[in-house]
Structure formats: C-alpha cells, structure tokens
C-alpha cells in the first residue's frame, strides 16, 4: 500500500534509494545533498538494504568508484551537489561514454564563488554537455517519483546512459511536504532487477571497458553515443506511462500550465515552477492571459515539445537559474530560443536570470517580466538581451 508521509526531498530520495536497494553507493558529503548518503547509511547499518556503501575521500573518487562498480555489473548510485559535482566533472564524461547507467541524486546548489550553499542550477548546467540525462523536479513528490523512474530509463537497452535526478537545494531538499510514498514491493517490481549483458565480473566473457580511441574512431564513438541520447525522450515517456498506470501520477518531458489560451508564457525549471503556478493563477485572476511551461527533462532537450507548447503565444520569457556569462542569456534560454527558431515558431522573447544562490522569485519580479513582454509586443526593444530579477540596482 502507498502511504502519505511528511518528508523532505532528501528523505524522499533516500527512501526511493532504499526501495531500489542498489548494489553499490559510493558517496561523499556536501551540503545540501549530505542527508541522502546519511539517511542511506542508516539503512545500511540497520540492515534494510544490502548495498555496499563506500565512504570515499572525495567526489572525484565517488564517481570513479561508481564507474568501476557499474562496469563490474553492479547497480550503482550516488548523490552530490555544487562543487562536489564539479569535482566529478572528468568522470561524468567517462561514465556516459562508457555507457554506464549510473543514477545520481543532484541537489542543485550554487557554485563558488562567492561561496554559497543555496539553490541555483549552475552545478547542473556545468554538466549539461557531459552526456548525462538530466531530469528536474519541482517538488518533493517529483524528486521521489523521478528517482523511482531513473533506472528504468537509464538501463533501458536503447539507452544505457547515466542519469541525474535534480532537485533544488534546501527549497526542495530540506523543506518538508506531504507526499505519497509507494509500497516497497511495488517500487522494486517497477524498477526491476539489473541484468547487464556485458560486465567486468562475468568470468565467461573477458571484457575491456574504456579503451583508448584514436582519431579514426573517436567521432564514430561520439556519434553512437548521440544516437543513444536520441532514444531517451521516447524511453522517458514510455517509463512515465508505465509509472502512471501503476502509481497514477502523470509525467511528460515538459508540463504546460494554463497554456491553452495564453498570450504570454514563462519557461523555467525546478522548484520555481511551483511558485510560478501560483503567480500565473494570480495574474489570471487579474485578467492576464499567462501560462507556464515547465521543462522537466533538460538533457536531452525536448525542443519539439517546447516549441509546440509555445507555438501560439505572443511572447515568451525564459527564466534561467544560472549564469552563462556570455552577455546574451542563460543556458535554458539558449535551448528554448534555438527550439523556437528551428521549429519556425516566431514570437517575442526575453531572458532573465533569477534565484541565484537561493534568492526567491517574487510576484513583483514576474510582473516586471510581463511588462517587458507587453513592451516587446508593442514594438519596443528591451535595453539588453537579458537582465537579472530581484537584484539591487
């Protein structure tokens, strides 16, 4: 039986991990993800899982150990945040290019500096080109559900790629919400057993993993990896459909909120989507035809779905929770605007950076964005390609 419980995002993800009962978990603590390995090591100590928990000396080692374990044939996961994942950077590419379906709980946190422990997406954006699948969670329920769906996606025979399930640091990871936790056996059945075809501990098949690739083979290897990524959207939807049929909650690549007749759209990811739904409702009461497109899957990017969702709007505002320092805009807007252009959707567009280092997104910020969009639609130009929301100036 499923049950309702009051849980933080970290607790919810740790419970999903307990239900999955992975073979190996190497992890190193870093705020705000520390609680995940902490809760999980309790499960190990209490005998609730039979996972080999490896308390490594760094995140570089955590991902290295995860790669070794996964290549050996063990279902492996880890958790990290911010500079911890930055320290994994080299290994993230090794995991994906060796096609190892490792799962990671990424609790999004700002990167130093200035040093800050609160939520933004700069850690995940730093890893956006590493070949990992990236799924963003709006709230604790989604963090749990997304983690339950992680392995069926990553281990799918057409995919075999690592996956990171992202939730916003503190806002989601530490805030306690009422959520539904599914029955242990139902989750185990849904996730299934891991049965890799090729693995290093198979004595019957000598195997080399990660051989050197000369120039004559490197591009072919990359092209093959890109093909695996091309299979991901279909698999994510297939897994989501199965999830919905068993557990009743619906997930897509994106979520459209009050977009049917919207003239103005906001696009963002993560916990601010919940905040934005509230603001959309508020603005709708005032007669503004606004809507929200929440991007759930950032890698690979659902370009067609995003463009389709925005195909009828007059103007779109993309809200980025990360800086790209390119003088043009954030990473999400780059993806969204490319999607619109290539899908031949023409509308006004503006980009904003919000919420860096844990700053809140306020209604007054959203009102100012809506004013900008109306100005654009009236033929005015904005003074810059993008601007900061809620910064003192």
Partner 1 sequence: MSDEFRSSKAINLQSKWDELTEGLQIYEPATSVDTITGEWRTQTPVFLEKDCKQCLLCVPACPDSAIPVKNQKRLDFDYDHCKGCGICVKVCPFHAIEMEGVE
The residues binding partner 1 (CB under 8 A) are 97-100, 157-158, 160, 197-198, 205-211, 213, 216-217, 219-221, 223-225, 227-228
User: Torsion-angle region of residue 242: left (phi > 0), alpha (psi -120 to 50) or beta?
Assistant: alpha
The DSSP secondary structure of 53-113, one letter per residue, reads EEE-SSHHHHHHHHHHHHHHT--BEEEE-HHHHHTTHHHHHHHHHTT---EEEEEE-PPSS
What is the rounded CA–CA span in Å between residue 71 and residue 98? 8
What is the rounded CA–CA span in Å between residue 368 and residue 373? 9
CB of 12 to partner 1, least distance (A): 32
What is the rounded CA–CA span in Å between residue 8 and residue 332? 27
- In terms of CB distance, is 93 or 388 closer to partner 1? 93
CB of 193 to partner 1, least distance (A): 17
- In terms of CB distance, is 37 or 162 closer to partner 1? 162
CB of 228 to partner 1, least distance (A): 7
- In terms of CB distance, is 4 or 197 closer to partner 1? 197
- In terms of CB distance, is 26 or 162 closer to partner 1? 162
Which tokens is 183 given?
A: 């029955």
Phi, psi of 63 (to 5 degrees): -75, -35
What is the rounded CA–CA span in Å between residue 332 and residue 319? 8
CB of 212 to partner 1, least distance (A): 9
CA distances from 43 to 11, 127, 192 (A): 12, 29, 20
- In terms of CB distance, is 199 or 388 closer to partner 1? 199
CB of 209 to partner 1, least distance (A): 6
Q: Which of 74, 114, 87 is nearest to 28 (CA)?
A: 87
Which tokens is 222 given?
A: 């990359």
- In terms of CB distance, is 82 or 97 closer to partner 1? 97
- In terms of CB distance, is 6 or 222 closer to partner 1? 222
Which tokens is 69 given?
A: 């374990």
Q: Collect all residues with Cβ–Cβ distance below 8 Å to 199 and sequence separation of at least 6.
A: 71, 72, 73, 207
Which helix (H) or strand (E) segment holds residue 177: the answer is: strand 176-181
CB of 66 to partner 1, least distance (A): 15
Q: Residue 79, class by beta-carbon neighbours within 10 Å (0-12 exposed, 13-18 middle, 19+ buried)? A: buried
CB of 158 to partner 1, least distance (A): 7
- In terms of CB distance, is 197 or 346 closer to partner 1? 197
- In terms of CB distance, is 209 or 246 closer to partner 1? 209
CB of 195 to partner 1, least distance (A): 12
CB of 192 to partner 1, least distance (A): 17
What is the rounded CA–CA span in Å between residue 292 and residue 295? 10
CB of 214 to partner 1, least distance (A): 10
The DSSP secondary structure of 214-236, one letter per residue, reads -HHHHHHHHHHHHHHHHTHHHHH
- In terms of CB distance, is 202 or 326 closer to partner 1? 202
């Amino acid at each position: 039986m499923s049950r309702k419980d009051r849980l933080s995002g970290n607790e919810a993800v740790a419970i999903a991990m307990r239900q999955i009962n992975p073979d190996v978990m190497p992890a190193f603590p870093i705020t705000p993800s520390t609680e995940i390995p902490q809760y999980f090591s309790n499960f190990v100590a209490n005998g609730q899982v039979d996972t080999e928990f490896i308390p490594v000396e760094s995140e570089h080692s955590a991902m290295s150990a995860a790669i070794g374990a996964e290549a050996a044939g063990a279902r492996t996961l880890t958790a990290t945040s911010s500079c911890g994942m930055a320290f994994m950077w080299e290994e993230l590419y090794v995991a994906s290019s060796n096609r190892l379906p490792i799962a990671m709980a990424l609790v999004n946190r700002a990167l130093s500096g200035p040093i800050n422990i609160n939520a933004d997406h700069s850690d995940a954006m730093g890893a956006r080109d590493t070949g990992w699948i990236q799924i963003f969670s709006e709230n604790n329920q989604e963090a749990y559900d997304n983690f339950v769906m992680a392995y069926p996606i990553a281990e799918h025979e057409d995919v075999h790629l690592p996956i990171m399930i992202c939730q916003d640091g503190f806002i989601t990871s530490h805030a306690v919400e009422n959520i539904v936790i599914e029955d242990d056996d139902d989750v185990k059945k849904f996730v299934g057993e891991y049965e890799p075809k090729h693995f290093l501990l198979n004595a019957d098949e000598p195997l080399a993993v990660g051989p050197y690739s000369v120039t004559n083979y490197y591009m072919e290897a990359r092209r093959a990896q890109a093909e695996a990524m091309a299979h991901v959207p279909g698999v994510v939807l297939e897994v989501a459909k199965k999830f919905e049929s068993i557990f009743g909650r619906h997930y897509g690549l994106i979520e459209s909120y009050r977009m049917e007749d919207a003239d103005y759209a906001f696009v963002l990811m993560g916990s601010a989507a919940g905040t934005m739904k509230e603001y959309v409702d508020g603005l709708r009461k005032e007669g503004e035809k606004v809507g929200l497109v929440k991007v759930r899957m950032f890698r690979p990017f659902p370009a067609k779905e995003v463009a389709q969702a925005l195909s009828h709007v007059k103007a779109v505002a993309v809200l980025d929770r990360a800086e790209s320092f390119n003088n043009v805009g954030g990473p999400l807007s780059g993806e969204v605007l490319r999607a619109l252009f290539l899908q031949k959707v023409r509308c006004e567009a503006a980009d904003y950076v919000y919420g860096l280092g844990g700053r809140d997104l306020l209604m007054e910020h959203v009102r100012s964005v809506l004013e900008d969009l109306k100005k654009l639609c009236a033929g005015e130009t904005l003074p810059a390609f993008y601007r900061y929301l809620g910064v003192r100036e």
